[in-house]
Amino acid sequence: MKLEGRVAIVTGAAQGIGKAIAQKLHAEGAAIVSVDLQGEGADATAAELGGIGIQADISSEADAERIAQTTLDHHGKIDVLVNAAAIVPFVPWDEVDFAYWRKIISVNLDGAYLVSRAVEKPMREAGYGRIVLISSNAFYAGTPNMGPYLAAKGGVIGLTRALATELGKYGITANSVAPGITRSEGCLATPHKDSFDFVQMLQAIPRHGLPADIAPAVAFLASEESGWVTGQVLIADAGHIRD
């Protein structure tokens, strides 16, 4: 198993891609800290995987610090952070008011920064860490009705590169996984649910993407053996985007 003895924080672990990632990292041997705004969902994933659940808002500085501190209190270390929590919106361009723009940037970009910053110090002191930030292939595709989301996910890719540069000398890698459209609860609750058949025509592998399709790419980047890979974006989308 790739992650035996490792401690992994997964945000957005109540459902969808985050939950599938938590399940995969657990199957690879990691102790999982399941974080989500939905406390009951975080606890349900924790109950399933035998770890701890934390109700937290990643866009809150205090909550991000509490996620790291609670993990250290329970496990004494943080080996892996996977930030999957995000808002997946469907917002026509002329309906994006500034408050909603700020909300999406706050969760999807500021949140990625805050949780990365909160885990960086204990990882640096340990001389080891794996940070995996979930971005999106929509950034490359320029998907319609996702203006603030594309801006935030482009920022996540920039943040990934910055973290890789700043933290490499401490034994910490930072990479991003960019999923294609995936049948998560969040995606299926929006009009994006009607796009699967069209997008499938653009994919090399002609079927709908599932949360479990994304998790193995994350598990590789969360593992020790990925140590020579940093600052990269791994697009996991059945060959839709060829960057």
- Give the residue, chosen from 8, 12, 130, 235, that forms a contact with ligand NAD under the rule CB under 6 A: 12
36 forms part of the interface with ligand NAD (CB under 6 A) = yes
186 forms part of the interface with ligand NAD (CB under 6 A) = yes
Catalytic residue among 100, 140, 149, 170: 149
Subset of 43-72 contacting ligand NAD (CB under 6 A): 56-59
Stretch of 70-78, 162-170, 181-189, 220-228 contacting ligand NAD, by CB under 6 A: 181-189
Stretch of 67-75, 116-124, 166-174, 185-193 contacting ligand NAD, by CB under 6 A: 185-193
Write the secondary structure of 114-150 as one string of H (helix), E (strand) and C (coil): HHHHHHHHHHHHHCCEEEEEECCCHHHHCCCCEHHHH
Binding mask 103-122 for ligand NAD (x = CB under 6 A): ----x---x-----------
Q: In 10 A of CB 126, how many CB atoms?
A: 15
Which one, 30 or 105, has the nearer CB to ligand NAD? 105
CB of 181 to ligand NAD, least distance (A): 4
Half-sphere exposure (Cβ direction) of 225: Cα atoms closer than 13 Å: 9
CB of 218 to ligand NAD, least distance (A): 10
CB of 143 to ligand NAD, least distance (A): 9
Q: What string of DSSP letters covers 131-200?
A: EEEE--THHHHT-TTBHHHHHHHHHHHHHHHHHHHHHGGGTEEEEEEEE-SB--HHHHTSGGGGGHHHHH
Which one, 38 or 232, has the nearer CB to ligand NAD? 38
Cross-sheet strand order for the sheet of 233-236: 52-55, 31-36, 7-11, 80-83, 129-134, 172-179, 233-236
The bridge status of strand 233-236 relative to strand 7-11 is unpaired
CB of 242 to ligand NAD, least distance (A): 17
147 forms part of the interface with ligand NAD (CB under 6 A) = no
- Give the residue, chosen from 54, 85, 104, 172, that forms a contact with ligand NAD under the rule CB under 6 A: 85
- Give the residue, chosen from 46, 118, 167, 181, that forms a contact with ligand NAD under the rule CB under 6 A: 181
Q: In 10 A of CB 144, how many CB atoms?
A: 12
Secondary structure letter of residue 73 according to DSSP = H
Stretch of 12-20, 71-79, 113-121, 197-205 contacting ligand NAD, by CB under 6 A: 12-20
Task: Answer whether 239's CB lies under 8 Å from 178's CB.
Answer: no
Q: Known catalytic residue: 140?
A: no
Q: How many residues does the chain have?
A: 243
CA distance 111 to 64: 8
179 forms part of the interface with ligand NAD (CB under 6 A) = yes
Active site residues per annotation: 149
